[in-house]
């Protein structure tokens, strides 16, 4: 097993590693203090004195397929419910090849932004796209990025009082059977796993109570996580009160989801008491600052949730409500939006925002082997250089990544393997991907 020494970083988000770190067998084997040398011989040394070294960023909420409908004229400048109603009929035309390209492009964009683990919430299965999650597994493996792929679902259509049209929903039996198939085939519970499966009924306004309850039972049986949208808009609150006779957090408890196996997307419209309840049960929340701003949904109370005990992670959300798949940009969005929400420059620091995208996100996914730079952790790293004009004059390199607006990583390592070098994904023709994906997207105009 070769030992790789990343030597003398400009800055590193780990105490005691100012002189660098050693990677061996896909893990961090040693932290090297400033001015010291590795304790054991190394086989290769890479000078990272021009780089800021972060734990690999972890994206905890996305919809890869939405890269095909960014800035769509039928949906721009709308809030969530009308935005969804405009796009559901367009998304119903999704088919395997365009979906594959959408997934490949989203994962590539994430990697180039310093993301090493991505969770996707795929809930659309129009006819012919039964193998959507299988396609995502294949594409992630080719790129060498870690994934938690959620078997999303919708079984409550317009005719039954839900929001989505009949053309994009499935029946509960089909959903549950496919969930079991995917767990059996792909869900890896081991340390260092590259692929995990979670169950993710889409939202209160698109799934039945039966599906929520039986998904929770299935997750308990197979030791996988649960994910859904919750607390995103006031419209959702009103829907829950009218249909279920309670607020969304009450509904979550009623269907057996109020526990540490669950992480939620958005979490904006929670009361102080609801934040306390979620924290007491260790329910995770993925903060999606860009999407929340684009759709004018509101502010996630990240500090209240963290103070209550909830893990709080970060997500880019769908690339039609962001409209990007860029994790380091999402870190900056989290800082800006957080300060606006709390009306305080001290409420969310640059390091707080990075923590959401690393440790916080890893906790949301139930991972204890990623998210920090420490001995024994997986060697998932994002290296950024500060050679662009935007960074000239910056005195705190870590804060500069956030405050000066970093947009892409120079190098990215996943499980000890370089997946991005000199800003470009290894072994992938980006120009060809752009052309093929662009051609596929034109079919959704």
Of residues 179, 226, 266, the one with CA closest to residue 365: 226
- To which CATH superfamily is domain 3-55+375-425 assigned? Urease, subunit C, domain 1 (2.30.40.10)
Backbone angles phi, psi at 20, to 5 degrees: 125, -165
Is the full-model pTM beyond 0.95? yes
So where are the chain's domains? 3-55+375-425, 57-364
DSSP letters for 180-231: HHHHHHH---STT-SEEEEEEE--TTTS-HHHHHHHHHHHHHHT-EEEEEES
**Separation of alpha carbons 415 and 82, rounded Å:** 41
Structure tokens that stand for 350 in this block: 């640059």
- 77: alpha, beta or left, given left = phi > 0 and alpha = psi -120 to 50? left
- Residue 27 CA, chain-centre distance (Å), reads 22
Instruction: Write down the pLDDT at residue 129.
Output: 95
From residue 335, alpha-carbon distances to 183, 290, 314, 338 in Å are: 36, 11, 11, 5
List, in sequence order, the alpha helices (H) in 13-71.
none
DSSP code of residue 132 = H
Within 8 A by CB and 6+ apart from 340, the residues are 299
**Separation of alpha carbons 186 and 154, rounded Å:** 22
Instruction: Write down the pLDDT at residue 56.
Output: 98
Structure tokens that stand for 231 in this block: 């607390």
Upstream peptide bond of 95 is cis (omega within 30 degrees of 0): no
CATH fold for the domain made of 57-364: TIM Barrel (3.20.20)
In sequence order, the β-bridge partners of residue 285 are 264, 312
**Separation of alpha carbons 385 and 366, rounded Å:** 30
DSSP, collapsed to helix, strand or coil, labels residue 23 as: strand
**Separation of alpha carbons 371 and 207, rounded Å:** 32
Contact between 179 and 140 under an 8 Å Cβ cutoff? The reply is: no
List, in sequence order, the alpha helices (H) in 309-416.
327-342, 350-355, 361-364, 397-403
Instruction: Write down the pLDDT at residue 336.
Output: 98
From residue 222, alpha-carbon distances to 212, 277, 311 in Å are: 16, 26, 22
Of residues 14, 19, 134, the one with CA closest to residue 380: 14
Backbone angles phi, psi at 258, to 5 degrees: -85, 80
Instruction: Write down the pLDDT at residue 161.
Output: 87
Instruction: Write down the pLDDT at residue 167.
Output: 85
From residue 423, alpha-carbon distances to 430, 436, 442 in Å are: 11, 21, 27
Instruction: Write down the pLDDT at residue 1.
Output: 74
DSSP, collapsed to helix, strand or coil, labels residue 350 as: helix
Low-confidence ranges of the chain (pLDDT < 70): none
pLDDT digits (tens, 9 = 90+) for 300-345: 999 999 999 999 999 999 988 999 999 999 999 999 999 999 999 9
Quick one: which H or E segment has residue 264? Answer: strand 262-266
Instruction: Write down the pLDDT at residue 160.
Output: 86
For residue 325, count other CB atoms closer than 10 A to its CB.
Answer: 29
């Amino acid at each position: 097993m070769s030992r790789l020494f990343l030597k003398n970083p400009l800055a590193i988000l780990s105490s005691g590693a100012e002189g660098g770190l050693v990677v061996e067998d896909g893990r961090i084997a040693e932290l090297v203090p400033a001015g010291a040398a590795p304790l054991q011989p190394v086989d290769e040394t890479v000078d990272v004195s021009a780089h800021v070294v972060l734990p690999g960023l972890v994206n905890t909420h996305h919809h890869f397929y939405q890269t095909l409908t960014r800035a769509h004229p039928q949906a721009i400048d709308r809030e969530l419910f009308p935005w969804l109603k405009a796009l559901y009929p367009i998304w119903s035309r999704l088919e395997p090849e365009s979906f594959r390209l959408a997934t490949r492009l989203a994962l590539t964009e994430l990697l180039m932004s310093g993301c090493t683990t991505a969770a996707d919430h795929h809930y659309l299965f129009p006819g012919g796209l039964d193998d959507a999650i299988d396609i995502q597994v294949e594409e992630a493996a080719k790129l060498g990025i870690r994934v938690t792929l959620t078997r999303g679902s919708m079984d409550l259509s317009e005719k039954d009082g839900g929001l989505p049209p009949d053309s994009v929903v499935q029946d509960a039996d089909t959903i549950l059977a496919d969930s079991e198939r995917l767990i059996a085939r792909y869900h890896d519970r081991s340390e260092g796993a590259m692929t995990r499966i979670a169950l993710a009924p889409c939202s209160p306004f698109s799934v039945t109570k039966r599906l929520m309850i039986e998904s929770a039972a299935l997750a308990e049986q197979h030791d996988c996580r649960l994910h859904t949208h919750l607390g995103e808009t006031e419209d959702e609150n009103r829907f829950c009160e009218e249909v279920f006779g309670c607020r969304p957090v009450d509904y979550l408890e009623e269907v057996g989801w109020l526990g540490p196996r669950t992480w939620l997307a958005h979490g904006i419209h929670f009361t102080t008491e609801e934040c306390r309840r979620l924290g007491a049960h260790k329910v995770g929340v993925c903060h999606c600052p860009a999407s929340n701003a684009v759709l004018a949904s509101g502010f996630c109370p990240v500090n209240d949730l963290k103070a209550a005990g909830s893990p709080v992670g970060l997500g880019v959300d769908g690339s039609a409500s962001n409209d990007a798949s860029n994790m380091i940009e999402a870190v900056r969005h989290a800082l800006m939006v957080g300060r606006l929400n709390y009306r305080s420059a001290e409420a969310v620091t640059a390091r707080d925002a990075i923590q959401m995208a690393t440790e916080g996100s890893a906790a949301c996914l139930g991972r204890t082997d990623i998210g920090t730079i420490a001995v024994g952790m997986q060697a998932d790293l994002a290296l950024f250089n500060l050679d662009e004009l935007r960074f000239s004059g910056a005195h705190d390199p870590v804060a500069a990544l956030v405050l000066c607006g970093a947009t892409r990583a120079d190098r990215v390592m996943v499980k000890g393997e370089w997946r991005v070098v000199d800003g470009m994904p290894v072994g992938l023709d980006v120009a060809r991907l752009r052309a093929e994906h662009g051609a596929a997207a034109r079919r959704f105009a």
